[in-house]
Amino acid sequence: MNDAMNAAMNASPDTLVHSAFYRYAAVPDPAAMADALRQLGVRLGAPQAFGGSVIVAAEGINAVVAGTRAAVEAYEAALSKDAAFAPLHGLVFKRSACHTLPFGRYKVAHKAELVAIDLPEVADVIDEHDDSHVAPADWDALIARPDVVLLDNRNHFEFRLGRFRGAVDPAVDHFRDFAAHVLAHADTWRAAGQTVAMYCTGGIRCDRTAPWMRSLGLEVRQLQGGILGYLADRAERAERADPTASTGKADQHAWIGECYVFDRRIALDATLAETGRKPAQVYDPSRPDEAWRLARAERLDGQMPT
């Protein structure tokens, strides 16, 4: 996190902060953990001063929360220290500043899996820190290589709003359709000796699919921390190099456009600042799978879509 962003978020306990995190780890009793998380959120002021969307499964947690700095810090501290959340200790929290509370509710759901995708069972376990992960500082050099195919592991509307230069759009309307695109191209990538470099918003979609893609004989690399981690890293390094300079401009790195986020902020620019996008500017109503997203976003008045 760059110094300017850090100072802005620490200016007051009432400053609004967004925190995104996930972990693949064995959770012995996900229902009990979900209950504990609900109670924790209520103690911290949910839904008036604290909100978010949390998914708990036997395989771990996937969450985005937001509220006052004091509430978010207390929430993160509980997940990092309390015995009830022992499988989650050591979580990495990705923070960004907010002008308004991004969520209209605080929802904790107990589900069968953290991200919905129908993949066959594979021997490889999901490892958020294996050597397929590429640090943000090394990402630009990797995706500039001629033997690399750069794959966007998100939905089409997300790609349309922003992407890395040279990325391939699988043109999927739902994450569960991503596997079909990989299967349709895997033979070509293998035959050409290409490395598949992929990215998503925060990293969880890539962590979920990478072991399966390796089981197909593909050489896979993924962006550590996703787009949000990359933009935060670039802004921090630019801040260290020249604290007086404007940071995060698209021509300073490989990112083009805005990053879609699943909350009221809609989209963030390359400095992780809200862009003021509205749902009608993101979804194409002529596409059925985007028309219902637009209708839901307007109906829920910016609550967290799933």
143-162 pLDDT tens trace? 999 999 999 999 999 999 99
Name which residue leads in pLDDT, 177 or 55: 55
Amino acid 50: pLDDT: 94
Q: Residue 4 pLDDT > 50, yes or no?
A: no
Name which residue leads in pLDDT, 300 or 106: 106
167, 213, 216 from 196: Cα distances, Å: 11, 9, 12
Q: What is the mean pLDDT of residues 5-9?
A: 41
- Nearest residue to 21 (alpha-carbon basis) of 52, 58, 50, 67: 52
Amino acid 101: pLDDT: 87
92, 174, 208 from 157: Cα distances, Å: 27, 10, 21
Amino acid 145: pLDDT: 97
Amino acid 242: pLDDT: 61
Q: Residue 8 pLDDT > 50, yes or no?
A: no
291 within 8 A of 283, measured Cβ to Cβ: yes
What is the C-alpha to C-alpha distance for residues 54 and 78, in angstroms, rounded to an integer? 15
Q: What is the mean pLDDT of residues 178-207?
A: 96
Q: Residue 304 pLDDT > 80, yes or no?
A: no
Map residue 67 onto helix, strand or coil.
strand
- Residue whose entry in the numeric block shows the structure tokens 């940071």: 247
What is the C-alpha to C-alpha distance for residues 167 and 74, in angstroms, rounded to an integer? 38
147's enclosing H/E stretch is none
Q: Is 200 a catalytic residue?
A: yes
Q: Residue 19 pLDDT > 90, yes or no?
A: yes
Amino acid 217: pLDDT: 95
Report the percent of the chain where pLDDT is more than 70.
88
Tell me if the domain spanning 117-306 has CATH number 1.20.120.430: no
Amino acid 248: pLDDT: 41
pLDDT tens for residues 163-173?
A: 999 999 999 98
What is the C-alpha to C-alpha distance for residues 231 and 164, in angstroms, rounded to an integer? 11
Give me the chain's average pLDDT, please: 88
pLDDT tens for residues 66-120?
A: 999 999 999 999 999 999 999 999 999 999 888 888 998 999 999 998 988 877 6
**Fold equal for 3-110 and 117-306:** no
Q: Give the contacts of 23 (CB within 8 A, at least 6 positions apart).
A: 60, 61, 87, 88, 90, 91, 128
pLDDT tens for residues 46-56?
A: 988 899 999 99
What single-letter DSSP state applies at residue 187? H
Rounded (10°) CA dihedral 36, 37, 38, 44: 110
Amino acid 249: pLDDT: 44
Tell me if the domain spanning 3-110 has CATH number 3.30.70.100: yes
Cβ contacts of 276-281, under 8 Å, gap ≥ 24: 277/161
Q: Residue 140 pLDDT > 80, yes or no?
A: yes
Sequence ranges of the domains in the chain: 3-110, 117-306
Q: pTM of the predicted model, to two decimals?
A: 0.86
